[in-house]
């Protein structure tokens, strides 16, 4: 295990991380098979030989899971993904860390700000109402 510091984590997330939200299109007539309508996630994805960094990241934050992502395309390697999707962990651990330790890339910082806005809406249960879901969907469109 590597001992990670906050500056290393900021650089890693700027380069290889993502704050994202799956939002089912409220205007879609298609029925989705996903069990949730709004699904926020923070993740870092690395190639297989660098996966020990992900385990160190998991230890640092004390939450999240690591998944293997197999890729059968030519010239692509299998990857591993450290992912935090539990809302309490996002609200109480991940968001406070990145509010205190700001990301450097403007695009990543913008995604994080939108992510925080959406998480506040989720905390207020706005995602359970049609108008709130539409606002969340529109906000998501501003993410990279």
In this structure, the number of other CB atoms found within 10 A of the CB of residue 112 comes to 23
The whole-number average pLDDT for the span 78-91 is 96
Distance CA(141)–CA(132), nearest Å, equals 14
| Residue 130 pLDDT grade (very low, low, confident, very high; cuts 50, 70, 90) | confident
* pLDDT attached to residue 69: 82
* pLDDT attached to residue 110: 96
pLDDT at 92 over 80: yes
In terms of DSSP bridges, do strands 38-47 and 65-69 run parallel, antiparallel, or are they unpaired?
Answer: unpaired
Query: Contact, 123 vs 40, CB < 8 A?
Result: no
129: burial class by Cβ within 10 Å (0-12, 13-18, 19+)? exposed
Calculate the average pLDDT of the chain: 89
The whole-number average pLDDT for the span 69-91 is 86
Between 35 and 131, residue with greater pLDDT: 131
CATH number of 6-140: 3.10.28.10
- Structure token pair of residue 84: 């935090």
Distance CA(121)–CA(34), nearest Å, equals 20
The whole-number average pLDDT for the span 5-22 is 95
pLDDT tens sequence across 100-125: 999 999 999 999 999 999 999 999 99
pLDDT tens sequence across 21-74: 998 777 766 665 655 578 999 999 999 999 999 999 999 999 999 999 877 766
Between 131 and 74, residue with greater pLDDT: 131
């Amino acid at each position: 295990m590597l001992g990670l510091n906050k500056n290393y984590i900021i650089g890693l997330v700027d380069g290889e991380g993502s704050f994202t939200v799956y939002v089912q299109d409220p205007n879609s007539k298609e029925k989705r098979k996903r069990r949730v309508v709004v699904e926020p996630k923070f993740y870092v994805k690395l190639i297989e030989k660098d996966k020990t960094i992900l385990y160190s990241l998991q230890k640092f934050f004390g939450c999240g899971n690591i998944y293997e992502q197999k890729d059968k395309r030519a010239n692509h390697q299998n990857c591993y993904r450290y992912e935090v999707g539990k809302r309490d962990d996002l609200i109480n651990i991940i968001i406070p860390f990145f509010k205190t330790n700001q990301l450097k890339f403007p695009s990543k910082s913008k995604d994080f700000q939108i992510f925080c806005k959406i998480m506040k809406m989720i905390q207020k249960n706005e995602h359970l109402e049609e108008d709130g879901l539409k606002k969340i969907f529109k906000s998501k469109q501003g993410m990279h």
